[in-house]
Structure 1
C-alpha cells in the first residue's frame, strides 16, 4: 500500500449494489422528499400519488420505471408476478 492510496477514489462497487431506497444512498433532495412523504397523512399521500401518476407522466418516464422494476427484481424486492401486476396497473404491458 503506497502513500498515494489514501487519495484514490473509493470504488463504486458498493454504490452499484446498494439499495437505492436506503437514505444513505439518496441525494439531499431525495432524502428531503422521502421524509416529507413519510410525514404525510395517508390521504394526502394518496392524493399526491394520483396527481403524479397520470398516464402522461407514466409514458414520459416509462424507461425509468421499467429500469427500476428490473433493479427491484434483481435485488429480490419483487418477484415476477409482482412486477407483472405493477406493469399492468401502470399500463406498461
Structure 2
C-alpha cells in the first residue's frame, strides 16, 4: 500500500492524528491507535495491517458516542445501540 511519511496531530481535535502515506493524506485516527499499533514515520502499511486499525477506530468512536449519549441522561441499551449505529 505505501510508506507512512507523516503523522501530525489535528489542529481542532487533540485526540486525533492525520496519517500521510506517500506524502498524501491517508486517514485520521485516534492518537492512542498510533501507540497501540506502533505506527511510525517510515513504516510500511498494508491492507492486512489497516483492518484492525479501522476496527479499533470504529470501536472507539462507538464507545465515545455511547458515553456522550449517557452523559446527557440515562438511556436503555436498545436506545444507545440505535443512536450509536445511526451516527457512526
Rg bigger for which structure?
1
TM-score scaled by structure 1?
A: 0.24
More strand by share: 2
More helix by share: 1
TM-score scaled by structure 2?
A: 0.25
